[in-house]
Amino acid sequence: MTKRIGILATTLVLSLVIMTGLAGAQTISFADAAALLARDCGPDIEKYCKGLNLGNNAIRNCLEGHQSNVSPTCTATASAVATSIERRLAAQASVMKICSGHAKTLCKGVVGEANILRCLVRTERLDGAKCNQAITDSGWR
């Protein structure tokens, strides 16, 4: 019983740490997200998902299917990693649109997404909260 409460408490604390670390104010790179998944779920993947691949959600589905066996840390990390990847993808897809007003006024004549973003990173103080948040979430600061 005490052990179970201990595990529950650990899970809760870990979830909070991961939530604030990942799904909170910032997203992390795809490389860091994948590394976290490997670190926290590697042993469970070896045990329950051998031969399955990272693509097509095969690993994610397998971990969810074995949720009762998979370590609580892995469950929390897998979910937080998926959220972070989604958020970063969404930010990357929308950053140019969200920042288009600022780009027009602050980066006049600058051509090409990469160059406009480079310009916006330099004009950070004038970009406004939404545009700045989108640049940060996209990982392109």
Q: Identity (one letter) of the amino acid at 57? A: N
Residue 98 and residue 130 in contact, taking contact as beta carbons nearer than 8 Å: yes
Smallest distance, other proteins to C-beta of residue 4, A:
28
Number of residues near other proteins (by CB under 8 A): 30
Q: What amino acid occupies position 91? A: A
How far, in Å, CA of 11 to CA of 33, rounded? Answer: 19
Residues 6+ away with beta carbon under 8 Å from 96: 103, 113, 116, 117
99 close to 127: Cβ distance less than 8 angstroms:
yes
Q: Which of 1, 2, 5, 50 binds other proteins (CB under 8 A)?
A: 50
The span of 8-16, 30-38, 97-105, 125-133 binding other proteins (CB under 8 A) equals 30-38
Residues in region 56-75 near other proteins by CB under 8 A? 56-57
100 binds other proteins (CB under 8 A): no
**Residue 139 in contact with other proteins, rule: CB under 8 A:** yes
Which residues would be at the binding site for other proteins (CB under 8 A)?
29-35, 37-38, 41-42, 45-46, 50-57, 85, 89, 92, 112-114, 117, 139-140
